[in-house]
Chain A
């Protein structure tokens, strides 16, 4: 158990809908990262938050947004969903900014858009 909790584990929704994925980092970890893994793709970096502030952005679509709350949990909001958004979404956490430390991953949320 990595200590990183993601909910829900599975989500099935229709095109055009909006969903929220939740991530609770390990106790004490300040950074949260979101990754998307589509079929036959590697882990694509979406966004990183550090202590409530957006720190780094990857190839995150404008339809997607994220935030990190004062209690350090993070939410990834996906709107106007398309079939191509079906993927496994992982969050990971690190104690500080993350440079020299390993990332701890949650179990992922499997999103299926139908």
Chain B
């Protein structure tokens, strides 16, 4: 069974707080790990696609790291802003059979 787990399920922070989420995935048959940002009433948009163990990617205040050997990725948001409020999804590209499997997401709410 391919299981992608994200924690926490939801997070409420104050503006300016830094935060991080975890994505756990099977460490075998790994090809890629995706992070997406999903705002209410919109469609998911890609943040990062990571393929190499030890990868670190950054986009503005958001960054992500990848550990394929132990099967986890972290997403960090530095100095959260209200516009960061969204659901953050990770997705595991399973190398056998070509499936992009999503976790349940972490819902972030940033209060001004």
**A interface residues (Cβ-Cβ under 8 A, vs B):** 2, 4, 33, 35, 41-43, 45, 48, 50, 55-56, 58, 90, 92, 97-108
Contacts and interface: CB of A to CB of B under 8 A. Distances in A.
For the complex of A and B, the 6 pairs showing the least CB-CB separation, nearest first, are: A102-B46, A105-B43, A42-B104, A43-B102, A56-B98, A56-B99
Contacts of A104: 46
A97 B101 CA distance: 14
Nearest to A107: B43
Contacts of B89: 42-43
B101 A45 contact: yes
A50 B100 CA distance: 13
A105 B47 CA distance: 13
Contact of B32 (A4, A41, A100): A100
A99 B93 contact: yes
B81 interface: no
B26 interface: no
B44 to A, nearest CB: 5
Interface in B34-74: 34, 42-46, 49, 51
A101 B46 CA distance: 10
A4 B66 CA distance: 29
Nearest to B95: A99
Most chain B CB neighbours (cut-off 10 Å) among A42, A92, A98, A104 = A42
26 contacts: A33-B100, A41-B104, A42-B89, A42-B105, A43-B89, A43-B102, A45-B100, A45-B102, A48-B99, A50-B98, A55-B98, A56-B98, A56-B99, A58-B99, A99-B32, A99-B93, A99-B98, A100-B49, A100-B51, A102-B46, A102-B49, A103-B34, A103-B91, A104-B46, A106-B43, A107-B42
